[in-house]
Amino acid sequence: MTGASGTALAQRDTSLTQEVEVVKSYRPTISDANKISSMPRIEDAEHEKPSFNYNIFSQPIYNTFSVNQLKAATFSSEPAEDTGFGLVRAGVGNYNRPYGEVFFNSQNIRNTLFGLHGKHLSSHGKLKLEGGDKVDAPFSENEAEMFLKHFYRSSVLSINLGFDHKGFDFYGYPLESIPDFLKEEDQEINYQGKRQTFTKGSFNIGLENATAGRNDITFDFDFLYHYFGAKTGQREHFGEFMVDLKKPYDKGTGFLEAGITFVRAEEVFNRNQMALGKSQQTWITAKPSYLLGGDMANIRLGVNAWFVMDSSTDMMAKLAPNIRANFAPVEEIINIFAGIDGNYINNHYSKIAYENPFVDPEHHVKNTFEQFHVYGGFDGKLAAKTNFKISVDYSKLKEQPLYYQFGYEYDDEGTATPVVDNDFDVIYDNLSRLKFNVEIFHAYFEKVNLLLSGNYYVYKMDTMEEPWHLPDWDAKLSLGYEVSEQLSLTTDLFFTGQRKALIMSVPGEDPRKPEALTNAELLQLEDLQFNSYNLPTVFDLNLNANYKITNRFSVFAQLNNFGFQKYQQWLGYPVQSFNVLGGLSYAF
């Protein structure tokens, strides 16, 4: 058994104060539970807790470092006061890393807000692989966003336009030194050293009733379209229209979430034709439910249904329950909850590409069906400013994608040389997952915010020996402290438990060429070998500081991977060790 390091994927966390300065690096929520309304609301869609679908913790999904980032300001209700026009940030860091970001938010004119956001972040440093090779590991990230929000008496209309361009190299190679013939610029054996870019343009419009009461009829909708393209030739069109209806009826309230999703991908591997082609799916979703009860005790009864027309398979229909009960024996102190539901997960092209950017670019991943998800627990208050949640859940999933690499022998001028692909293939398995979760959040008069969360996982596989690249536990500690009116500090500590990585290999030439093999055919090879490798526990410490010189000028510094741990995102792909980014902010 050979040891390797761990992986990390990213979400982003940012916020703006009224002076448009960064004061917090996270806005966590305690999910899957009724919240205590008297607590300060702290939320950030960008900062996601460890989750099952490989989003281990907050690190860039394909960058080789961690950095807190800003985004255009968003509002959940009508803004109250003048917050200025915007913010400009610029900085530099080691690993040859320039950074620049600009925000513009118009004043509230006739209940309308308009904003712009642009960002550049890149790195041109080198990294040392486990086999001893020092390789270029550049990346770049460019974003542009425009948003418009109009506030009606009880609703908010939101319109967003976005553009995102990310570039990186397939710089990694697992375990051994890179063979010389893979270092040649024109080699076509695998993706070693090749450049990949993701380009995404999106349009989103939605209407949300933010102030409706229990007895009000509401109609919300959301429409999203994006175009995604990769340098390797893949293209994706994704469109989704969803509506959310609520209507009081008899002694309860009826709900309906329904919509249609269309996704089309080109230059992907077609499983029917066993060649490159197109993939097209149309999803119809309906989730009706009925809520009975009051604030102290209530129950929601419903069903989740999906009807999928897929160009590569027959039409499918999936059903899952949607039941949840809440009981609050002591109002605003403790809430007990339990439920059962399920989900059908659309593993469309760009979702997988962002999840694991080093996956085979021609991938066409099957969808995953969570047949049922049983959960229960309780949440509430430990003290006036301290919330907690303890829960346990059990899921049964079919066709869960797992990532692995493939090895074989390559004939190099008459000499057989072992080679391992440095991109990842996908294999599927049915699995069960038991998860235990604990979360504690504490706020102290806007001076101190603390979030502690931890998860412990138990997996049972149908075929595979291990849930490849998934951790057996993970945890996060986030602390924000406002030292003074001028100085604020935040720190994030991320922990990920041991994982297992897989390299399948054969002693001879690559059996997948010149013709492709299905997963079933590959697993039936008599000389196929399974080689498992440890990815050790990951400890990642990040520290951020912001010092306000004047009401307009501030300086900032970010220390990332402060534990100097050279862990790997995926087997063969190490992240940058300790790195620092510092610069100047100007609010206007």
DSSP secondary structure string for all residues of 272-307: TTTEEEEEEEEEEEEEEEEEEE-SSEEEEEEEEEEE
Question: Which of 48-62, 71-85, 329-343 has the lowest average pLDDT?
Answer: 48-62
pLDDT at 539 over 70: yes
pLDDT band at 450 (very low <50, low <70, confident <90, very high): very high
Q: Average pLDDT of 436-451?
A: 90
Higher pLDDT, 196 or 21: 196
Confidence (pLDDT) at 563? 80
The rounded Cα 116 to chain-centroid distance in angstroms is 24
Q: Average pLDDT of 399-426?
A: 93
Determine what percent of the chain is predicted with pLDDT higher than 70.
86
Query: On the CB side of 31, how many CA atoms lie within 13 Å of its CA?
Result: 14
Confidence (pLDDT) at 547? 96
Q: How far apart are CA 273 and CA 392, in angstroms?
A: 43
Higher pLDDT, 253 or 447: 253
The boundaries of the domain holding residue 316 are 2-587
Tens-place pLDDT, residues 96-135: 999 999 999 987 788 899 999 999 999 999 999 999 999 9
Question: Is residue 232 a contact partner of residue 361, using CB atoms and an 8 Å limit?
Answer: yes
- Nearest Cα to 177, choosing from 10, 392, 478, 422? 422
pLDDT band at 83 (very low <50, low <70, confident <90, very high): low
Which CATH number goes with the domain that contains 487?
2.40.170.20
DSSP 424: B
Higher pLDDT, 74 or 285: 285
Q: How far apart are CA 353 and CA 79, in angstroms?
A: 36
Domains of the chain: total:
1
Q: Average pLDDT of 396-413?
A: 94
Confidence (pLDDT) at 82? 47
Tens-place pLDDT, residues 178-206: 999 999 988 999 999 999 999 999 999 99
pLDDT band at 7 (very low <50, low <70, confident <90, very high): very low
Q: How far apart are CA 405 and CA 498, in angstroms?
A: 18
Q: Average pLDDT of 230-244?
A: 97
Question: Which of 8-22, 137-151, 277-291 has the lowest average pLDDT?
Answer: 8-22
